[in-house]
Amino acid sequence: MTKSTINLILVVLFTISNISCTKTQNQELKLWYNKPAREWMTEALPIGNGYMGAMFFGGVEKEQIQFTEGSLWSGGPGSNTDYNFGIREGAWKNIEEIRNLIKEGKLIEANLLASNEITGSNENQFGAQQTMGDLFISVEYSGVPTNYKRELDLNKGEGSVSYVLDGEKYKRTYFGYYPGKVMVYNFNSSCKAGYSILFQSPHKMNSEDFVNGIYSFKGEVKENGMEFESCLKFDTDGKLDFIDGKMQITNAKNLTIYQVAATDYTLEYPNYKGADYIAENKKALESLEGKSYKEVRKEHLEDYQNLFSRVELNLGENNRDSVPTDRRLSEYADGTFDLGLEEIYFQYSRYLMISASRKGTMPLNLQGKWNNSTNPPWACDYHMNINEEMLYWPAEVTNLGECHLPIFTYMESLVEPGKNSAKEFFNTRGWIVNTMNNPFGYTSPGWGFQWGFFPAGAAWLCQHAWEHYDFTRDESFLKETAYPLMKEAALFWIDYLIEDEKGYLVSCPSYSPEHGGISGGAAMDHQIAWDLLNNCVQASDVLGIDDEFKQIATVVRNKILPPQIGDWGQLQEWKEDVDDPNDNHRHVSHLFALYPGKQITVEHTPELAEAAKVSLKSRGDGGTGWSLAWKVNFWARLKDGDHAYLLLQRLLRPSANQGMDYVNLGGSYSNLLCAHPPFQLDGNMGGCAGIAEMLLQSHDGIIELLPALPLVWKRGEVKGLVARGGFVIDIKWENNELLGAKIKSLAGREIPVKYKDKTFNVSLHSGEEIILDKQLKTLQ
Ligand code: FUC
């Protein structure tokens, strides 16, 4: 080897290993504004500790911190003694007749019978997630504020408000402290200041106390008697009094308010009640004793950054940090090049996930944990026909596997009521959950057939359980949590699928989510059932158990009607070839097999992938927030980075629309929360997953680097993404070409790594890592 070759290798080695050790984020990762928020939905900024979500407005004269706790709900058994999870006993007796009508082509009659008989009851007892209340904090005030800034620092996981008044500096810092189950609001000023704090709740107040410097509000959701308490503990160098229902603080340079909140809800069928919420709050407050604000903040940073800083994304140039985020967003839509905003958008979802979904908390709901209403859109519930799943799409790939856990605990609580629903509506074994679900085990079809019928919800959720295993290779999780959930969900499909005239197994009756009509059967059901049974087969192999069940699952999987290509080259949404090429409905359910499923891939089923592309093109590039986000992922799986990027740009279209719109106005509010409209968190999460999917894919038994890199991302770097099989991956690229990658194995395994037409087999022990150059040659 010549000296110059050795030098070259060293240079390359240095460049690539260097990317793996230096800090690559080239920006501050902040959302910031030069004025207070006026609107909750579009402008206020979200913080959370997993259990609670809060939104702050940042008013100088009066701060408003709206908050809730994830389990605070109306509806359920407390609202009526007849509450029965939506079940209609014996509804299954109609299934045979519906099947016959479908077979005879009498779809109108079939639809009518299904609408009358296969719908859930309890519309009035479904309930809705509830805001708990607001803190209004008035600040002694004179003069005209200057240097005003309201921001959210994603690197630190905290919000802040700062300004100058009469030459004195004021700074507020807010964050959710997950390890302590506490929300922390710190007010600091260079001069002594006075504050007056009012706690308000739309709910019935049972008592209000101020004892030993702790304020507590005990209340109740009137409609179902759910009890709750929120307490405020103060730490200040000023003087604290309780006068006329308000906390008054005078002469304070420093004030920290610690807030806790809990309800008597328990995630336990059938009563969902009985938690000792008062003791929980007491314990959380007691654990703060002896801790200074600084110590609490340090613990928060450690906890938060341990998750957040695992992934870095650098898309190249960024010179827009000095522009307020609202302006940044509108200028982006006007064509200003702003890759930094895309990085923020990606990392914001990770921030939101860490802030709202941690072990022991309720899972993310339609608005994460941020809801300011007693009657929120779609009840702010768990919507299982795309939304709940999308909320968790980025969890594994963006290295937040721990944040995925709440959904599994939640799924476990659905099995029992879900089995009853399966029995009464379909006379099958197994568990189901349909479109709308509340935390009181409502697993039945919704009370409207056209939107509410979707028994595949459980099977779809089970994909997440399998994926958590697949990404982490945690066999005890597979054995104890994932497999029992999956197997029980699979039983439903084994019983429910019926043979059609050609001997295929089909889902009948079925209804392609919110699009319909009634069918025998919808492609999405077939794809989801296939995915579940396929995962069950693999799980049984990994665990070396249940051979008999595995044989049955294999036979059933192989007999399911495979994805069909229709008349105009489209992927059929139904068994019947009736897709309309002019239809641009937001649900693109029949492409499940492309993403998040893996039954269709460009490499292994190119004709089906082509048909999926035809369908996708005909559906167009419009849609609600989550629909745009789903399309980012579809195009990424089709390896078309530029088209994925186009959809990402659409997701970042500024919106101020708070009303309900189903057609074409999806985008982002100035606080970067996703506009369905109205606000729904799924679009944020789906968009983040889409960005990851453009940079790394691993669903097909290989790790593919930069599978859908758009032209505009000329050079950049991502660190810490996770691939299935337990690999943590850093990738660097330049001139739109791979420069190098670092792959670390957590679980010890062999896997092919692919970039364009090159493939290299990586074989690593657990904890080992490897560096590859742009030719996929080993450097280390
Ligand atoms: C599904 C969608 C709607 C909305 C709702 C919460 O039903 O069809 O667009 O996102 O969930």
> Which DSSP string do the residues of 44-83 spell out, in sequence order?
SEEEE-SSEEEEE---SSEEEEEEEETT-BS-SGGG-TT-
Distance CA 231, CA 248 (A): 16
Res 26: pLDDT: 59
Beta carbon of 585 within 6 Å of any ligand 1 atom: no
Give, using CA atoms, the residue closest to atom 9 of ligand 1: 662
For the Cβ of 389 lying below 6 angstroms from any atom of ligand 1, the answer is no
Tens of pLDDT, residues 377-404: 999 999 999 999 999 999 999 999 999 9
Q: Are 488 and 431 in contact (CB under 8 A)?
A: yes
Rounded Cα distance between 676 and 386, Å, is 13
Mean pLDDT throughout 135-147? 93
DSSP 8-state symbol, 509: S
Mean pLDDT throughout 162-176?
A: 97
Ligand 1 center to 159 CA (angstroms): 30
Place 13 in a pLDDT band, splitting at 50, 70 and 90.
very low
**Is the per-residue pLDDT at 27 higher than 90?**
no
Instruction: Give the closest residue (by CA) to ligand 1 atom 3.
Output: 662
What pLDDT score was predicted for residue 780? Answer: 60
How much is the average pLDDT of 745-754?
96
Q: Residue 680: CB within 6 Å of ligand 1?
A: yes
Of 134, 135, 363, 125, the C-alpha closest to 226 is 125
The pLDDT, as a whole number, for residue 140 is 87
| pLDDT number for residue 25 | 53
Most informative mutation of 129, 387, 631, 681 for ligand 1 (most atoms within 8 A of CB): 387
Minimal CA–CA distance to 310: which of 353, 339, 340?
353
The minimum-distance atom of ligand 1 relative to the CA of 377 is: 6
DSSP state, residue 166: T
366 within ligand 1 shell (Cβ under 6 A): yes
CA of 354 to the centre of ligand 1 (A): 24
Closest ligand 1 atom to residue 366 Cα is 6
90 CA to centre of ligand 1 in angstroms:
29
Asked if residue 676 has its Cβ within 6 Å of ligand 1, the reply is yes
Closest ligand 1 atom to Cα of 682: 10
The finding on whether 589 has its CB within 6 A of some atom of ligand 1 is: no
pTM of the model: 0.97
User: Which atom of ligand 1 is least distant from the CA of 587?
Assistant: 8
Residue nearest to atom 8 of ligand 1 (CA): 514
Atom of ligand 1 nearest to the CA of 451: 7
Question: Hey, which of 436, 438, 514 would you mutate to test ligand 1's pocket, going by the most ligand atoms within 8 Å of its Cβ?
Answer: 514
Question: Could you read off the pLDDT of 601-636 as tens digits, one per residue?
Answer: 999 999 999 999 999 999 999 999 999 999 999 999
What is the atom index within ligand 1 of the atom nearest the CA of 387? Answer: 11
624 lines ligand 1 (CB under 6 A): yes
| Ligand 1 site, residue 437, Cβ cutoff 6 A | no
Q: Is 218 in the pocket of ligand 1 (CB under 6 A)?
A: no
Cβ–ligand 1 contact at 227 (below 6 Å): no
Taking only the tens place, the pLDDT of each residue in 459-514 is 999 999 999 999 999 999 999 999 999 999 999 999 999 999 999 999 999 999 99
- Out of 365, 680, 682, mutate this one to test ligand 1's pocket (max ligand atoms within 8 Å of CB): namely 680
Query: What's the rounded mean pLDDT across residues 17-25?
Result: 43
Distance (angstroms) between ligand 1 centre and the Cα of 582 equals 21
Backbone angles phi, psi at 603, to 5 degrees: -75, -45
State residue 12's pLDDT score: 46
- What band does 190 get if pLDDT is binned at 50, 70 and 90? very high
List phi, psi (to 5°) of 364. -60, 140
Start-end of H helices in 473-588: 475-477, 483-496, 523-543, 547-559
State the residue for tokens 């016959």: 100
Which atom of ligand 1 sits closest to the CA of residue 676?
Answer: 10
Beta-carbon contacts of residue 167 (< 8 Å; ≥ 6 apart): none
CA 69 / ligand 1 centre spacing (Å) = 23
Average pLDDT across the chain, whole number: 95
